[in-house]
Structure 1
């Protein structure tokens, strides 16, 4: 792990108050190191060493983002995330894991996490990933003030609200970013590598199946019971089109 360089532009909550981060790791030295790096960004950081403490602190503090180790002494990080999402469903989660297998990485994202880093990692990488998650979730003050419309699908990029007709659609931070990319490129076929690069900001080990997974999540929320808007172009990619010709 490397030392942090001079921080980039400061991210705050929309009301100007500091970003709140909950760091959950039973390795106290690592938790302290992460906390120090994140406080250097001007953020408020609270640490927890057990899953039970993490759930309690999340309820008390309402964090904007959570850094969560998968291996904890009482119950694992997946269970922690499920319990927290029970009362704070939209908080982004960055998993920390010592596991290197692709299936372990994908399992965390499938369970509802938004990103992961594998130990050992650089502090710069963790901060960069958290900044990306905060921007996706709308927790930071740096947000575009635009409304996107494709057919009867509407997205307010400022409030992070999405509607299909008169129905409001509730999305996770990563689902929102994926849909935003599709809506900014209506009728354009986007390949899996393009989506990986834009939505996840890195190559994800070539695991394009994570794109298929999140496309399926979006279809359930956007298209289920309606005329479909998200279409698969076999061997090419995906395209978002109005359900009714405009």
Structure 2
């Protein structure tokens, strides 16, 4: 199975070179499921033709960095270029009928694509924990019904988030934090799933990530 995997943009400041990069955690995580990732570049001249030239079964929009609507400095310009690339990848993936999984930043990008909003600095404005584990509530849902109405622990590496009222009307929540922030959503009519945490970094043994990923793989195989 070939899965397209997006990357962050990093900069080598010693001689100003921009690079696409991905954590080894993702490669190791996907190998556990027998998945060979195809790394999807930023700055592609024709991402639609590139994606059409390979037989993808699905797309993962990975995490890292922030989504920037109106860049005002050099670093934000780099982040914004990734926004442009990934929104194009997402649009083409939907057009191709591919299952899509968004994690952390990718989760937020999907909400933005469907006209939802993102709130910054949630560690201060919402007292949300960062760089630690915290509990989330799993709502009654058709995605992982065995976890419905339960509380599980996930990691948190984000200081941007989606407030309950800011989730796109096209998306349905299946996980929340203290009835304040959305932690997981799905699209009722498209094979799209989003989670705010990083499954590739997890050390949890509660089985949630495995259940979610197996569900998504079934979508990719269908």
TM-score, normalized by the shorter chain, greater than 0.5:
no
More strand by share: 2
Tell me which of the two structures has the higher relative contact order, counting C-alpha pairs closer than 8 angstroms and 6 or more residues apart: 2
With the length of structure 1 as denominator, give the TM-score of the two structures.
0.33
With the length of structure 2 as denominator, give the TM-score of the two structures.
0.36
Q: Highest CA radius of gyration, 1 or 2?
A: 1
